[in-house]
Amino acid sequence: MTPDHLSPERYEIVAIASSAGGVTALRDLLGAFPADFGVPIVAVQHLDRRHRTVVAQVLGRNSALLVKLAEDQEVIKPSVVYMAPPDYHVLLAAGGVLTLSQSELVHFLRPSADLLFESVAAVYGPRVIACVLTGTGNDGAMGGSAVKSRGGTVVVEARATAEFPGMPRAAVATGNVDFVLALEEIAPVILGLVNTEDHS
């Protein structure tokens, strides 16, 4: 039997948003997940669009998961972290297909966490965990509300550990957040959600 407060199906994707201070936060978060984590992770980290990025290599050195830049029309796989490339929005389509887009900036940003979160909410509904980490501005707040409206779960980094609390604060201000946690608490909670939601 499925408790009333749980989704009837297990979580199928984790989407992460971060900006200023985010590479360090992502390194610590992704480094806490085991190699058999079992679900795909798609992450938006705001990066300088004028330069090639080595963020996937940097994060991969500290993670048991495979970390790579997302590719257009790629099908996501469990235990892989897909990073949005600089200057590209990354969206999810039906069947777990990644789509890269250089459509207009959203709140002066490309990639946009809001667009990522809205797309995963539309495809996966209650089977999404969205996570907002350190950063300035409000990217991820509107998208987090979209995830919550479809029955998904929203996790936000607490101000105490967020190097730049703007994005977490904006997400919390929507009232559509399930957990506000110190950075070191986020991975254990996400792992617990993913593992306890398996009703197969």
Residues with catalytic annotation?
19, 46, 139
**Residue pair 44/17 in contact by the 8 Å Cβ criterion:** yes
Which residues have C-beta within 8 Å of that of residue 157, sequence separation ≥ 6? 25, 131, 132, 133, 134, 168, 180, 181, 182, 183, 186
Residue 135's closest CA among 14, 13, 16?
A: 16
Which residues have C-beta within 8 Å of that of residue 185, sequence separation ≥ 6? none
